[in-house]
Amino acid sequence: MMITVNEQTVYCYTNSRDIDPAKPSIVFIHGSGMDHCVWTLASRHFARHGNNVISLDLPGHGRSGGAPLATIEAMADWVIAVLDTLKIEQAALVGHSLGSLIALESAAAHASRIRAIALVGTTSPMPVSDAILDAAKANDHSAFDMLTQWGFSKRHQFGGNRSSGIWMIGNTLRLYEQSRPDVLFHDMRACNDYQSGIEQASRVTCPALLLLGAEDRLTPVRSTQALQSALTSAKVEVLPGSGHTIMVESPNAMLDALHQVL
Amino acid sequence: MAASDYPGLDTLALHAGAQPDPATGARATPIYQTASFCFPDSDHAASLFNIERAGHVYSRLSNPTNAVLEERIAALEGGVGAIATASGQAALHLAIITLMGAGSHIVASAALYGGSHNLFAYTLPRFGIETTFVDPRDPQAFAAAIQDNTRLIFGETLGNPGLDVLNIPAIADVAHQAGLPLMVDSTFTTPYLIKPFELGADIIQHSATKFLSGHGIVIGGLLVDGGHFDWEASGKFPTLTEPYEGFHNLIFTEEFGPTAFIQRARKEGLRDFGACMAPTSAFHILQGIETLSVRMNRHVDNTREIVNFLMEHPQVDRVGYPELEGHPDQSLAATLLPKGCGAVFSFDLSGGRPAGIAFVDALNVFSHLANIGDAKSLVIHPASTTHHRMDAEALAAGGIGEGTIRLSIGLEDVKDLIADLKQGLRAAGKAAGGSRS
């Protein structure tokens, strides 16, 4: 559905359902340069299981208007504004990569509004290489290529998708290609600049899940130690064989894991 | 890391879509010869039916062996997804019924495989879909034929049997300016010789029976989605952009983004029309694809030698191969098909129909049959076989004459193929009453 947030028309997928105040709500937040499509399987699943699902297109992404927001903090505030618009008092947040930082920041800065968080393909801090930042700043296609290749485990460079007939490398690349100019750079820079993640994680009190890919090359498991230590409420699940793009590489295992906190 | 670090075509031809079998460690892709798949529990079953989990329900809809083939062709073509179908014709039909219904219109090249021509000219009109055929060498003819109800532009990368080279970039521009997708049949060329998505095409169809499988042992088709076409911006494709009552008002573009077309094709067309591929067929096609570039290289090398032989033969009036001087598409072929123009071509024998019949009957190494793309060399007389339903005017529009012979050059020693052609030409000369040898 199209909604107005901060005087800007934006889109969120709701499985074609109205928000029911009697149901628990789950907000899905995509990663850099992506849109709500990455959450289709998960949002359909949790909608059938009695939840309001709100799969966002961040400002400037997908079907949403506006310019991309500059910082993780601004994006977290925007997510809360979405909840306000939809008259949702409290929600669980599921975020991937960039989206995971937004979920983390939201849970720390707006604790009363967030009942649980699931951080998928995450780490903090989340430094982005100069090669990607420079390419993204130049709107060079190589930024999409680097993120697509590094975003999948080595074994999944050859596919092996559990969803029949979909070449996940090609589909991911096409999603990047559909992003508007400069959007990827804004997202990557926001990830790179967000330095308060560990401090904010220590403030989170709601149930949390860290869902990590054992073969993640963008946010490797070994880089998450500080986050795991700070986020004391978190369960940690490492999915074997999966890279960074967990929603695509391990869709069924991700659903099973999400049920731990949703 | 740069784009060139993606696995190359040969590596993808061997590995894309496949992982060692998790149950047994089998390196080759197993044939999952089963109709159905067990559900671990009721909620899992419900989640599969509601597109919440990845997995298989029933082999008409998806099958693990077929899935490897589908990913492999999508990877080789640079697309987002694919569907394996019972035949190439099933793939073409699946695309059409996914995109349009009664009252729609197609603009198609006039130089088509006879089976495709039959579908467009005779069968689809019974279901309310009309086709205008145009000169494949004239992009403006495609533009001029577009109507308000046109929903697809269609052509073959190399027209059958005249080898008209489809100007994919120019015709894609025409299609896209009209908010329409361009679909190409790339059966003759395979992703080894041309990558239509990189040139602007939106949908690719293959008869995998031909060069992809490569050994003349299986019937199968593949439908590949490039994922580039903006169905919503076009506004002409409600099957993809409006709620689908047949699947709980699912809007395919909204939920699947770049894969909307191929998802709808599977969730509706494959489900309801049921022209699925048998898993054993998928296995055979996978074996063929593993050696695609090795075979295509040899196919093209042999073809070039035979083309040169025929060019110099006095009983041959014309050889239609786009690499030849004077071929109307020579320049375009050099640009779009630098690795070669395939291994199927036609030539005209002097002496007309009697010479053609005598020629075909005299060959020993070449097999007289209705197929192309076999490892073995093949020959056929189109006017009396593959294109026999076309009237004289339609034949001429496709560049076919009564003495036209079509060859599909295989992988034999080329000296043996040329020797076979020589004795065929001697027989043709006698039948035509001439003394040439």
Q: How far is A18 from chain B (nearest CA, A)?
A: 14
User: Mean per-residue pLDDT for B383-411?
Assistant: 78
- Could you tell me the CATH number of the domain that includes residue A59? 3.40.50.1820
Q: How far is A168 from chain B (nearest CA, A)?
A: 7
**Chain-chain contact of B5 with A149 (C-beta, under 8 angstroms):** yes
Residues A37-71: b if buried by 16+ CB within 10 A, e if exposed:
bbbbbbbbbbbebebbbbbbbbbbbbebebebbee
pLDDT score for B392: 63
**Chain-chain contact of A165 with B262 (C-beta, under 8 angstroms):** yes
Chain A interface disruption, residue of B47, B53, B229, most A CBs within 10 A = B53
Q: Which one of A145, A160, A178 has the shortest CB-CB distance to B258? A: A178
Q: Which domains does chain B have, with CATH numbers?
A: 3-288 (3.40.640.10), 293-431 (3.90.1150.10)
Q: Is A195 on the interface with B (CB under 8 A)?
A: no
Residue B111's nearest CA partner among B273, B423, B422, B344 is B344
Task: Note whether A3 and A9 are within 8 A (CB).
Answer: yes
Phi, psi of B339 (to 5 degrees): -85, -5
> What's the total number of domains in chain A?
1
Q: Is A145 on the interface with B (CB under 8 A)?
A: yes
Could you list the residue range(s) of the whole structural domain that residue A233 is in? 2-258
DSSP B271: H
Q: Tell me which of A29-38, A226-235, B54-63, B399-408 is least confident.
A: B399-408
Q: Which one of B6, B243, B256 has the shortest CB-CB distance to A149? A: B6
Q: Which residue does chain A place closest to B257, by CA atoms?
A: A37
By DSSP bridging, strand B150-156 and strand A114-120 are unpaired
Q: Is A251 on the interface with B (CB under 8 A)?
A: yes
**Chain-chain contact of A40 with B255 (C-beta, under 8 angstroms):** yes
Interface confidence, given as ipTM, is 0.97
pLDDT score for B436: 44
Q: Render pLDDT for B238-288 as a digit per residue (tens, 0 to 9).
A: 999 999 999 989 999 999 999 999 999 999 999 999 999 999 999 999 999
pLDDT at residue B329 greater than cutoff 70: yes
Task: Note whether A21 and B240 are within 8 A (CB).
Answer: no
Q: Render pLDDT for B109-122 as a digit per residue (tens, 0 to 9).
A: 998 988 999 999 99
Q: How far is B235 from chain A (nearest CA, A)?
A: 16
For chain B, give the mean pLDDT. Answer: 94
Residues of chain A above pLDDT 70, percent: 100
Q: Which one of B3, B84, B255 has the shortest CB-CB distance to A142? A: B3
Q: Render pLDDT for B155-206 as a digit per residue (tens, 0 to 9).
A: 999 987 778 999 999 999 999 999 999 999 999 999 999 999 999 999 999 9
**Chain-chain contact of B47 with A169 (C-beta, under 8 angstroms):** no
**Chain-chain contact of A150 with B19 (C-beta, under 8 angstroms):** no
pLDDT score for A222: 97
Q: Which residue does chain A place closest to B243, by CA atoms?
A: A16
Q: Render pLDDT for B94-103 as a digit per residue (tens, 0 to 9).
A: 999 999 999 9
**The two three-digit tokens of residue B386, written as one number:** 């593959």
pLDDT at residue B22 greater than cutoff 90: no
CB atoms closer than 10 angstroms to residue B53: 23
Q: Is A215 on the interface with B (CB under 8 A)?
A: no
pLDDT score for B398: 64
Banded model confidence at residue B391, pLDDT cuts 50, 70, 90? low
Q: How far is A235 from chain B (nearest CA, A)?
A: 23
The whole-model pTM stands at 0.96
Q: Which one of A44, A170, A255 has the shortest CB-CB distance to B74? A: A170
The position carrying tokens 């694919």 is: B82
Q: Is A3 on the interface with B (CB under 8 A)?
A: no
**Chain-chain contact of B266 with A164 (C-beta, under 8 angstroms):** yes
pLDDT at residue A113 greater than cutoff 50: yes
pLDDT score for B238: 98
Q: How far is A169 from chain B (nearest CA, A)?
A: 8
User: Mean per-residue pLDDT for A217-237?
Assistant: 96
pLDDT score for B353: 80
pLDDT at residue B3 greater than cutoff 70: no
Q: Which residue does chain B place closest to A176, by CA atoms?
A: B258
Q: Residue A72 contacts by C-beta under 8 Å, 6 or more apart in sequence?
A: A98, A101, A102, A105, A190, A191, A193, A194
Q: Is A42 on the interface with B (CB under 8 A)?
A: yes
**Chain-chain contact of B17 with A45 (C-beta, under 8 angstroms):** no
Q: How far is A108 from chain B (nearest CA, A)?
A: 30
- List, as own/partner pairs, every contact residues B361-364 make where C-beta atoms lie below 8 angstroms and the sequence separation is at least 24, other chains included: B361/B427, B362/B423, B362/B424, B362/B426, B362/B427, B362/B428, B363/B420, B363/B421, B363/B423, B363/B424, B364/B420, B364/B423
**Chain-chain contact of A45 with B50 (C-beta, under 8 angstroms):** yes
B-chain CB neighbours of A42 within 8 Å are 52
Q: Where are the alpha helices (DSSP H) in B16-54?
A: 42-49
Element containing residue A239 per DSSP (H, E): strand A234-239
Q: Tell me which of A20-34, A152-166, B6-20, B377-391 is least confident.
A: B377-391
Residue B288's nearest CA partner among B402, B363, B375 is B375
Q: How far is B141 from chain A (nearest CA, A)?
A: 31
pLDDT at residue A220 greater than cutoff 80: yes
A201/A231 Cα distance (integer angstroms): 5
Hey, which residues does B132 pair with through a beta bridge?
Answer: B107
Residue B222's nearest CA partner among B67, B113, B30, B35 is B67
